[in-house]
Amino acid sequence: MKNKVQNTLKEESAFTLIEMTLVLFIISVLLLLIIPNIGSYQGTAQDTGNSALETVVQTQMDLYEMEKHAAPDTLEDLHGDGFLSESQYSEVKKLFTIDSNGNLVKLNGE
């Protein structure tokens, strides 16, 4: 019986240390190639979201002007009169402002 178990164990093959090292190396290389690309898509998504938010705010400014017959002086005017939701307003005030001519302007020269 003991010989039978030993023969069975000898017949089973396993990965060697070199094979395991090679597999880990290949996985590491693939991760190094994939991870930077994922990071670049996050920036693209953020830019697209900011552009969409700018379009929403500009549209709401136009609606405000049509209803009130005057351009909004500040972003607070849009928010206070219900043209921007709380979540929109909190994001918009980080990225944009309204200049003295009533135009929407990006902050920090973005």
Q: Which residues pair with 98 in a beta bridge?
A: 104
**What Cα–Cα distance (Å) separates residue 50 from each residue in 1, 41, 45, 46?**
73, 14, 9, 6
Element spanning 19, H or E:
helix 17-68
Q: What is the mean pLDDT of residues 69-93?
A: 91
pLDDT, tens digit (0-9, with 9 covering 90-100), for 41-68: 777 888 899 999 999 999 999 999 999 9
Q: Residue written as tokens 């979201």?
A: 49
Q: Are 99 and 74 in contact (CB under 8 A)?
A: no
- Check residue 23 and give its pLDDT: 94
The pTM of the full predicted model, rounded to 2 decimals, is: 0.62
pLDDT tens-digit series, residues 7-40: 665 666 677 889 999 999 999 999 988 888 777 7
Residue 10 is predicted with a pLDDT of 62
For residues 99 and 105, the answer to whether their CB atoms sit within 8 Å is yes
- Domain definitions of the chain by residue range: 12-39+46-109
The pLDDT of residue 43: 76
Higher-confidence residue: 85 or 10?
A: 85
pLDDT band per the 50, 70, 90 thresholds, residue 1:
low
